[in-house]
Amino acid sequence: MLAAAGELEAAEAELQQASSLDPDLAPAWHNLAVVLERSGRADAAAAARREWQRAAHAPPRGYPYGVGVGLLHPGTRPLIPDIPPGCNVPPPTSMEYVEQYLEKLITSRKDVHETYTYGEDLEKQIDEVIRMYREEGLNTNQAYMAVGDASSILLQDPQCLRGIDTRIRYGKLHFVLYFRSWDLWGGMPANLAGIQNLKEYMAGEIGVKDGEMIVESKGLHLYGYAEDLAKLRCMRE
C-alpha cells in the first residue's frame, strides 16, 4: 500500500522490518526487491531477489503442535484433488505420479539417485501383515509396519512417512499413519492417494472391506513456492 502511494522509504522500512522478523517470508523479500528497484538501487534489489528465491524454496511456516486428519471415506473417487474450472492453478499431483509413488511403497526397487524408498522397509511387512490377519485372526494388535531404522537419524533428509499402523474393526481394514514431515501442497495428495491404493489392495488380499484412515504429522508445512498457488486454489487474495 505504501509503495503504491509512492512512499518508497516508508515501504522499504516496513519490508525490511518484516524480513528481519521472519527471514523466510518470501513475499516480503519479493516486495522489497520491487521497491528497491523502483528507487534505482539495482544491487540492493538483486540481493533482495536472491533472498526471495531462497525463502521461496524454504519450508517456512508449519504447524509446530501437529495436525491430525481423520478420513471417513478415503476411497472416494477421484483420489486426488480436482481443480475447479476457471482456477488457473496446476494440479498438485496426477494419477500417473500416484502410480509411480505406489510402486515405491510396495516394492524395494530403488533408483541410483534415491537415498531410500518406503518400499525398502514396507515390501516384506505388507506380505507379513496380510499373512497375520489371514492365519492368526483379525483381532491382532501387532500388525504395525515401520519405516526407517536407527540409522535414519544420520540421513540428511530422513524418511517423512515413519509408520503405518493397521487395525481391522467391523469387517474393515483401517490405517493409522504418522508423517515426521509433510508437504501440504505436493506431498499430501499423492501420499494419501498412493497409501489408499495400498490399503484397498491389502483389504482385498485379507478378505475384508476398505476402511478409514487416520493421519498425524507434527511437521505439516507449505513450501514458499506453493503459497500463492494454495491461495488461488482457496479463492483467496
Q: What is the pLDDT of residues 191-216, one digit of tens each?
A: 999 999 999 999 999 999 999 999 99
228, three cell numbers: 500463492
Is 78 or 38 the better-scoring residue by pLDDT?
78
The Cα–Cα gap between 3 and 18 comes to 15
Residue 3 lies in a domain: no
Distance of CA 173 to the CA centre of its chain: 24
Question: Does residue 149 share a domain with residue 75?
Answer: yes
pLDDT digits (tens, 9 = 90+) for 81-137: 888 777 788 889 999 999 999 999 999 999 988 999 999 999 999 999 999 999 999
Q: pLDDT grade, residue 219 (50/70/90)?
A: confident
129-157 residues labelled b (16+ CB within 10 A) or e (exposed): bbebbeeeebeeeebebebbeeeeeeeee
Pair 25, 78 in one domain? no
| Whether residue 46 is found in the same domain as residue 71 | no
Residue 29: per-residue pLDDT? 73
Q: In the sheet where 172-179 sits, what is the strand order? A: 67-71, 209-217, 172-179, 161-169, 144-146
For residues 47 and 86, membership in a common domain is answered with no
Q: Is residue 124 part of a domain?
A: yes
On whether residue 13 sits in a domain, the answer given is yes
* CATH code for the domain in which residue 168 is found: 3.30.572.10
Q: Is there a single domain that holds both residue 191 and residue 219?
A: yes
d(CA 111, CA 234): 36
Same domain, 184 and 101: yes
**180 assigned to some structural domain:** yes
Cell numbers standing for residue 16: 525490511
Cα distance between residue 145 and residue 31, in whole Å? 47
Domain assignment present for residue 159? The answer is yes
Distance CA 225, CA 234 (A): 16
Of 33 and 142, which is predicted with more confidence? Answer: 142
Same domain, 42 and 153: no
Residue 94 belongs to a domain: yes
Please indicate, yes or no, whether residues 85 and 163 belong to a single structural domain of this protein: yes
Do 183 and 214 lie in one domain? The reply is: yes
* Partners of 197 in the β-ladder: none
Q: For residue 17, give its domain range.
A: 8-56
Q: Quick check: 54 pLDDT over 90?
A: no
If you average pLDDT over residues 3-13, what whole number do you get?
65
Q: How many domains is the chain partitioned into structurally?
A: 2
